[in-house]
Amino acid sequence: MLFVVGIVIVFGSVLYGYVMSHGQLLALWQPFEILIIVGAAFGAFLLSNPWHVVMSAFRMVPQVVMGSRVNKAMYMDVLGLLYDILNKARREGIMAIESDVESPESSALFARYPAIQANYELANFIADYFRIIAAGNLTSFELESLMDQEIEARLHELEQPGIAVAKVSDALPGFGIVAAVLGIVITMGAIGGDVNEIGGHVAAALVGTFSGVLLAYGMVGPIASVMRHIAEDEIKLYEASKSCIIASLNGLPPQLAVEFGRKSLFTHGRPTFDEVESKVRSR
């Protein structure tokens, strides 16, 4: 929703200010200039990134428009799932959760939290470390070091789409200049012709520069920034999971271990102590 509001304000204020200055909106309509700028930028985006980054960027578009899928409800689900796993392991033994962590996609425990189960990478991150705990004798320090490495790698993956789009934003003013130069080439070819025709060509060339700069700083740059925020929100789910698991491995009971995870979350979406306690007590 904020995306739509922001786009309306950016383009609305620019165009309204232009019209109020007695500008003609039709003069800004230069589809071939837009084709040159947007087409070249998109081609450069494909040229400079591997396929998985391109697809990740497109998959993030719904979250850019509608808002991050990581919210308070998802934070509650992660904490609730971890509590359920830790509580079951504490009551019935670590081997009791073996079937759940071996195949989280078919686990009844994971199925209580469909948003987490649908997040393949996160569900497997949680399951993998409970497998390691059940299979070996790693110390909490060794396990934490391993988790940190994986979280760092995952953050790098999540940030790649935002970085790629930011590079497109940096390039757009340059492509605007390319469109403007091509417009000037056309203008030079019309020298000696009708003055109005020459003026129209010059205006089209200037619109190329204008469009490149506006798209870079008014749309594509902000989209890249939103993608980075989405990546930061997502990685908090992993960090909360790590905190819970390490706290439990250090001997804390499930309810206190979950509190360690809660404290690692951003404050703007963090559930309160009472909310988490109420959720785990309902189990």
Angle, alpha carbons 157-161-167 (nearest 5°): 125
Q: Would residue 7 count as lying in a domain? A: no
Task: Residue 80: give the domain boundaries.
Answer: 31-56+66-281
Q: Would residue 14 count as lying in a domain? A: no
Mean predicted confidence (pLDDT) in 222-234: 94
This model's pTM is above 0.85? yes
Please state, in angstroms and as integers, the Cα–Cα distance from residue 257 to each residue in 90, 151, 211, following that order: 12, 19, 53
Mean predicted confidence (pLDDT) in 175-199: 78
Cβ contacts of 6 within 8 Å, gap of 6 or more = 222
Mean predicted confidence (pLDDT) in 34-48: 94
Q: Would residue 44 count as lying in a domain? A: yes
Mean predicted confidence (pLDDT) in 173-177: 92
Mean predicted confidence (pLDDT) in 59-71: 90
Burial status of residue 197 (CB atoms within 10 A of its CB: 0-12, 13-18, 19 or more) = exposed
| Residue 61: per-residue pLDDT | 92
Burial status of residue 282 (CB atoms within 10 A of its CB: 0-12, 13-18, 19 or more) = exposed
Q: Would residue 4 count as lying in a domain? A: no
Q: Would residue 10 count as lying in a domain? A: no
Q: Would residue 11 count as lying in a domain? A: no
| Residue 97: per-residue pLDDT | 85
Please state, in angstroms and as integers, the Cα–Cα distance from residue 253 to each residue in 49, 82, 83, 195, 258, following that order: 46, 12, 9, 83, 9
Q: State the residue for tokens 């594509």.
A: 220
Q: Would residue 268 count as lying in a domain? A: yes
When divided into structural domains, the chain yields a total of: 1
Distance CA 116, CA 77 (A): 7
Answer whether residue 193 shows pLDDT above 70.
no
Distance CA 10, CA 87 (A): 51
Q: Would residue 165 count as lying in a domain? A: yes
Distance CA 250, CA 244 (A): 10
